Chain A
Amino acid sequence: GENVEQHPSTLSVQEGDSAVIKCTYSDSASNYFPWYKQELGKRPQLIIDIRSNVGEKKDQRIAVTLNKTAKHFSLHITETQPEDSAVYFCAASISGNTPLVFGKGTRLSVIA
């Protein structure tokens, strides 16, 4: 089955710097890659997603890139702010009746 590896597990950046979180997946048939943000004590919330027919997607300060050949995708957050501090999860999905497979998460701390 699909396996998703996420790195790093923790990341600290200065406010205003950029943060990058990387995920790799094992199944070349995977075609959907969402990212979730989970603030402390809250539920995971979808922040951005990308489908396999697209190489990059942006939404204000966040962007996701996908490299299907290398089977990896990344979340980029620019001009980080303290409210970006949270745990971020990547996930991957293949078609058919198979649920999302989540990475183990990255704890991002933005230091003011």
Chain B
Amino acid sequence: NAGVTQTPKFQVLKTGQSMTLQCAQDMNHNSMYWYRQDPGMGLRLIYYSASEGTTDKGEVPNGYNVSRLNKREFSLRLESAAPSQTSVYFCASSERTGGSNQPQHFGDGTRLSIL
């Protein structure tokens, strides 16, 4: 099992460009998450999907959109990239959201630089 797979691993964008980060999990998990990690800032939740067909905002949703394409896939879109969005982006999944059902499993991350 691959677990959580993120693509691409690295990306450089120019300000104003758009792009979609892809995430897929093969653990039959119901819930999926997108985080960003900046130096010294820890993990900040951007959006999450508690189950297929639902999405909710996290701590830092501005400038992002998400799509839960099916149970396996959860994508993150930057419509008009800004230098402040330079970060490492992690996708994660868990059996469910809430309580003890959510040990989260993380992907390897996407390192995104916006010039």
Contacts and interface: CB of A to CB of B under 8 A. Distances in A.
Interface of A: 31-32, 34, 42-46, 49, 51, 89, 93-100, 102-105
A43 B90 contact: yes
Given A93-B99, A99-B48, 7 more contacts: A89-B42, A89-B43, A93-B98, A93-B102, A94-B98, A96-B98, A99-B97
A96 B31 CA distance: 13
A20 to B, nearest CB: 19
A34 B48 CA distance: 18
A94 B41 CA distance: 23
A5 B31 CA distance: 25
Given A99-B33, A103-B42, A45 B98 contact: no
A95 B45 CA distance: 18
A7 to B, nearest CB: 13
Interface in B70-113: 90, 97-100, 102-109
Contacts of A32: 99-100, 102
Contacts of B106: 43-45
A35 B22 CA distance: 26
Contacts of B31: 99
A100 B107 CA distance: 16
Contacts of A34: 103-104
Contacts of A99: 31, 33, 45, 48, 58, 97-98, 102
Contact of A98 (B98, B100, B103): B98
A46 B103 contact: yes
5 contacts: A45-B106, A93-B100, A99-B98, A99-B102, A105-B43
A8 B102 CA distance: 25
B41 A104 contact: yes
B22 to A, nearest CB: 16
A103 to B, nearest CB: 7
Nearest to A1: B59
